[in-house]
Amino acid sequence: MESPQDEGSAALPVQGPDGEGDSLLLKSAISSVTSGTIITMMGTIGFLILSLAWRLLIVRLITVEQWGEMSIAFALIALITSLAPLGVQAAVARGISYEREEDQRGIVYSGMLVTAASGLAFTAAFYLLASTVAGVFRDPQLIPVIQILSPSIFLAMIIGTVSSVFQGYQNTFPYAVFVNILPNVLSIGLALFFYYLGLGFMGILYSAVLNSVLVAIILLPYSRSRLKRYLRPGPRKMKVKMLIAFGLPLVIVTSLNSLMAYADTLFLGFFRNETLVGFYSAGITLGRIVSFSVSALSFIFLPVASQLYAAKRHRDLERTYSTATKWALVTSVPLLVIFTLYPGQSLALTFGEPYRVASTVLEIRAIGIFITSLFGPEGAALVAFGRTRLLAMNSTISVSANIVASLTLIPAYGMDGGAIASVIGAITFSSLSLVQVAYYYKLHPFNRMYIKSLIASLAGSFIILIPLGLNPSLLDLPFIFLGLALFSAVCILVTKSVDRTDVLLLEVAEGIIGRRLSRMRRLGTMLVGRTR
């Protein structure tokens, strides 16, 4: 059952004063965000490293044109997998957090039923329409690529739905392992195996599908055994109508967001050619890394925000949102600095020397994604509050802006025009969502401490890199990132941009690593005392 406040416009009720002590619910929420985000972030870091390793391998085994064809096919599959689940995956994650325990079994089974049936239908349609789709891009070589990769749609939907079930229970381990880590490990091994069997480009395509098959084979028995810990024994009260009712508005949101993410790639393939798509894909993929910490935060923030919203703990929700977003700067600022100062070197390190031509694409994308990452998990907050209509409206406006910009800029400016169009769409969506979250729920990360740490991290990072010049060696880049990440963390401490919630976060971190960080605790307590 949806909350009666789901589509209302009233702000969250603020709980009564709780003194200076941290509420137990806040500590539970921060614990969920910290442990969940750390696990998810480690999985995301593994995903980024392994997926980049896979791309680095693939682009050296196939031509740029073939890489462009794969990029177009993957973009189409991403669009379909955002539409095909009918919004049920997000509905499952929210429903488990929000509904009674006796209804959770029905939510899980209903979600699996809907996504399995829909996944089979969309997989068959994509396979049968391969020649038609290839005709749109005037490239008959796309036909076998689409047909071979089409089973990935069904498999991705099953894996995604199972992960959303565990997300509802604030268990991020399956997402980290079965969505981020294992598929990429298998992709690398299988790609090498099939390629050296002499199957070439077709072998690499087959390896991408077999990888999903193996992940599903491992995940399903794992989830069956683990879900026994969460699901109460008893009859299954199916919740298909409830999930679809909540999920259908999200279909618009997820499909439009996916269209916003890949419209520029598809328009570039339509107006130009597969070679430019291959180069462009490298710059866009690398630039997307800037927001990985906020993406990890959003994944676990959804069920935590639902919990706090249901308990009417607005002050706790605001603290959780602000604190977690602030510490995401530790990774997003260094990546922004590196990708804007050393775009060519970054592309050469990851994709190879020929891909330096996409340097401007990487710079534009990195700046745009960094701006959106400053807003925190505003989209996840709207989902948690049940404001799906607002999300649909935001997605419609931002995709429209993206499409208009793509149609205008790509024919004239090619790759650079596509990058600008993608940034326009992303910033439009995040800005609208943040304004709505701030207006209806008084929720945003822009307090004095956040702004101080942001300015110090950005200004200091650019200043300390001036002596290095613009041509460091490729092997220097990982060490530059680690140094800047440490510097960003120090900036937060030196500017005294900490409060009681940061100290509480440190306590939870101690619980995660199983060790008391006495010196850091004393430093945090001292800084909090000075800022009060």
Q: Which two tokens stand for residue 122?
A: 């969309």
Which one-letter amino acid corresponds to residue 199?
L
Round to the nearest angstrom and report the end-to-end CA distance of the chain: 42
Whole-Å CA distances, 314 to 100, 202, 442: 22, 53, 9
Q: Which of 303, 262, 271 is nearest to 421 (CA)?
A: 262
At residue 397, the pLDDT reads 92
* Gap between the Cα atoms of 127 and 143, Å rounded: 9
Residues 6+ apart with CB under 8 A from 473: none
CA dihedral angle for residue 328, residue 333, residue 339, residue 345, rounded to 10 degrees:
-100
Q: Which of 298, 395, 383, 320 is nearest to 3 (CA)?
A: 383
Q: Which two tokens stand for residue 43?
A: 């999985």
* Gap between the Cα atoms of 18 and 38, Å rounded: 28
Residue-wise pLDDT tens digits, 414-456: 999 999 999 999 999 999 999 999 998 888 888 777 787 788 7
Where are the domains positioned within the chain?
Answer: 30-497
CB 291 within 8 A of CB 372: yes
The dihedral sign for the CA sequence 390, 388, 435, 309 = positive
* Residue carrying the six token digits 């699996």: 112
Q: Which two tokens stand for residue 46?
A: 């593994």
CB 204 within 8 A of CB 195: yes
Q: Which two tokens stand for residue 404?
A: 């208009």
| Packing angle of the helix pair 24-61, 500-513 (nearest 10 deg) | 60
At residue 140, the pLDDT reads 93
Q: Which two tokens stand for residue 436?
A: 């709505």
CB 285 within 8 A of CB 55: yes
CB 356 within 8 A of CB 281: no
CB 186 within 8 A of CB 214: yes
* Gap between the Cα atoms of 415 and 487, Å rounded: 33
Q: Which of 474, 460, 456, 466 is nearest to 343 (CA)?
A: 474
* Gap between the Cα atoms of 340 and 363, Å rounded: 5
CB 81 within 8 A of CB 157: yes
CB 229 within 8 A of CB 241: no
Q: Which H or E run contains 466?
A: none
Q: Which of 251, 318, 271 is nearest to 501 (CA)?
A: 318
| Residues lower than pLDDT 70 in the chain | 1-45, 99-102, 232, 234-236, 296-297, 299-300, 302-303, 466-471, 474, 496-532
Which spans in 62-100 are helix H? 64-83, 88-98
* Gap between the Cα atoms of 343 and 497, Å rounded: 31
Other CB atoms within a 10 A radius of the CB of residue 517 amount to 14
Q: Exposed/middle/buried for 153, CB within 10 Å: 0-12, 13-18, 19+?
A: buried
Whole-Å CA distances, 179 to 77, 157, 245, 285, 299: 16, 11, 27, 17, 12
At residue 7, the pLDDT reads 35
DSSP state of 290: G
Q: Exposed/middle/buried for 272, CB within 10 Å: 0-12, 13-18, 19+?
A: middle
Q: Which H or E run contains 317?
A: helix 314-341
Whole-Å CA distances, 245 to 111, 251, 373: 12, 11, 30
* Gap between the Cα atoms of 269 and 136, Å rounded: 10
At residue 86, the pLDDT reads 81
3-state SS of the chain: helix, strand, coil percent to 5? 85, 0, 15
CA dihedral angle for residue 159, residue 242, residue 227, residue 165, rounded to 10 degrees:
40
